[in-house]
Structure 1
Amino acid sequence: MEWDQPVIDERELARTYDGGAYADPWTAVLDYQAVMRYASHHPDNGSYAISTALDIPRSRVRPWTENKSKPDPVRGIETARDCGWLDATYRDTEFTVLNTLVANIFSGGSIDAERYQPWFALNHRHRRSHVIDVLEETGLGFEFYHEDDAGRATEVRPTEGATVLGRTLAVLGAPLGSKTEIEDLTLPWYLEEAPYETREMFVLAYLANRAIHHRDKDTVHIQEERPQSYLDELAALIEDVSKEAVTVGEQQVTISAAAARSLGLQPRYRTPATTSE
């Protein structure tokens, strides 16, 4: 993939939606665009004439032309484009934001598998967690949950545009639902061809949530109930970014002191809150 080309395909975003009468939701987008284009060129034609000319059922054409309604995939694409996500290349701030949020889904969050609502757990920095700054960068509103519950990590959830954000993160490879139940969990597909800066940001965001530091040594480790293949993949990514040794054990990735120093990790001597996701 060229680094100066958009990373996200709007067709894949459309296909996260229920197509209704369409087997492929992307077809609904194409039909809507064709109807709008035809209507703009033939402003005196009604829904019946447009339906006949384009061979699209009038029951679909009429709401689009007369009621100004739009298929859900069209609305989702428009929202994502307005946010700058569909035109973003690896080098753009908008993609850096998305990449960081994907890392947070893997390391301390989740996306509802049915509604595509994302949520993110705050790390030990609480309201100074980096995910707050990143969400502010999206321009979307957000709310906090469980702040007064000592038994749960505080969560932050986007409000406006939340499900479109969740769908966009899913297109980039963020998992849906509980990660502990995904047997073939893998890191995001785009990291394989991404520039170093993108891979580094993913690793740093991930470790900000999951790294466990020690008082008596500079070694850092991650403790996670994930498939061994996933831990192997994660360790390989961290090693590639740090250029120093990273090893894998049972449900654990160990980052050598040299790798930790290379990544600029700052000791904090505490274990991250355990989450079920």
Structure 2
Amino acid sequence: MDWDEPVIDERDLARTYDGGAYADSWAGVLDYRAVMRYASQHPDKGSYAISNAQDIPRGRVRGWVDDDGMPDAARGIETVRELGWLDATYRDDAFLALNTLVANVFSGGSIATETYTPSFALNHRDHRSHVIDALEMAGLEHEFYHEESEERATEVRPTTGGTVLGRTLAVLGAPVGPKTEIGDLTLPSYLAEAPSEVCEFFVLAYLANRAIHHRDKETVQIQEERPKSYREELAALIEDTANESVTVGPKQVTIPVAAARSLGLQPRYRKPVDARE
């Protein structure tokens, strides 16, 4: 595995968008690029000539060339590139931020099904939660929701680039929609090939939101009512990261003292928010 190669594929990102007239939204991006390349090489040609040359409907060409239009997928790719995510490798801070945000979707957040807008619940550290640092590292501004509510956890959401962030996290393997409705929920596939520090960032971000500490012992637990296969996958990732054994129970993953110490977990006695939704 080449850890210096970009992780995010622009084709996968394009396919999170509705292609409109295109069954495959990536095909729309390719047509758009072909039209704009031809137009730049033939500045004297109008939309009719370009349409004939590229065999693309004139109305579509006119919208791109004359009206500065752009397919949503092409615009999304451009935004992600400008943010520095598209070219990010496993070793780049931009990817480490995205990796942390993916972990937060699994452990304390969600991505809206229709809009792809992500929301992240703050953990016991409240406004010092690590997810805020990750959003800032990714180059995004944010705002808080439900701060005055006693019934809902305070959430943080990006104020700019929210939908492209959600789509990018989805491409990386973050679940979209209610996690309780995803029967085959699995951890991101990139973790199998990632450097150890990427896996460690993911695990520590996950545990910062979901780990339950006890006053009378150093053993740490994660309450997980998701499928057993998911609990086993999560336990294996934690075990590989800690280089110590981790056990799986009917509704939990238990991190024994040796593994907790290896991960450098600091005791706390506040139960984390329920992140099942």
Aligned partner of 1:44 in structure 2 is 44
What is the distance in 2 between the residues matched to 1:25 and 1:48? 23
Q: The residue matched to 2:217 in structure 1 has which SS?
A: coil
Question: Aligned AA for 1:112?
Answer: A
Aligned partner of 2:4 in structure 1 is 4
What is the distance in 2 between the residues matched to 1:62 and 1:176? 35
What is the distance in 2 between the residues matched to 1:29 and 1:231? 39
Decide whether the 8 Å contact of 2:186 with 2:233 is kept in 1. yes
Query: 1:227-255, CA deviations, whole angstroms, 9 ceiling, x for partnerless residues?
Result: 11000000000000001110000110000
Question: Aligned AA for 2:81?
Answer: R
Query: 1:163-205, CA deviations, whole angstroms, 9 ceiling, x for partnerless residues?
Result: 0000000000000011111100000010010010000100000
Aligned partner of 2:124 in structure 1 is 124
**Alignment length (residue pairs):** 277
Aligned partner of 1:179 in structure 2 is 179
What is the distance in 1 between the residues matched to 2:176 and 2:217? 36
Aligned partner of 2:109 in structure 1 is 109
What is the CA-CA distance between 1:276 and the residue it aligns to?
4.2
Question: Aligned AA for 1:108?
Answer: G
Q: The residue matched to 1:218 in structure 2 has which SS?
A: strand
Aligned partner of 1:199 in structure 2 is 199
Gaps of 5+ in 2: none
Q: The residue matched to 1:144 in structure 2 has which SS?
A: strand
Aligned partner of 1:139 in structure 2 is 139
Q: Where in structure 2 are the equivalents of 1:1-277 lying within 5 Å?
A: 1-277=1-277
What is the CA-CA distance between 1:275 and the residue it aligns to?
3.7
What is the distance in 1 between the residues matched to 2:191 and 2:120? 21
What is the distance in 1 between the residues matched to 2:127 and 2:157? 13
What is the distance in 1 between the residues matched to 2:35 and 2:148? 51
Report percent identity of matched pairs: 73
Q: The residue matched to 2:86 in structure 1 has which SS?
A: coil
Decide whether the 8 Å contact of 2:107 with 2:275 is kept in 1. no
What is the CA-CA distance between 1:274 and the residue it aligns to?
2.1
What is the distance in 1 between the residues matched to 2:268 and 2:138? 28
What is the distance in 2 between the residues matched to 1:65 and 1:270? 57
What is the distance in 2 between the residues matched to 1:129 and 1:23? 41
Decide whether the 8 Å contact of 2:108 with 2:273 is kept in 1. no
What is the distance in 1 between the residues matched to 2:94 and 2:249? 35
Change (3 A) 1:253 1:101: same
* Worse overlay, 135-144 or 243-252: 135-144
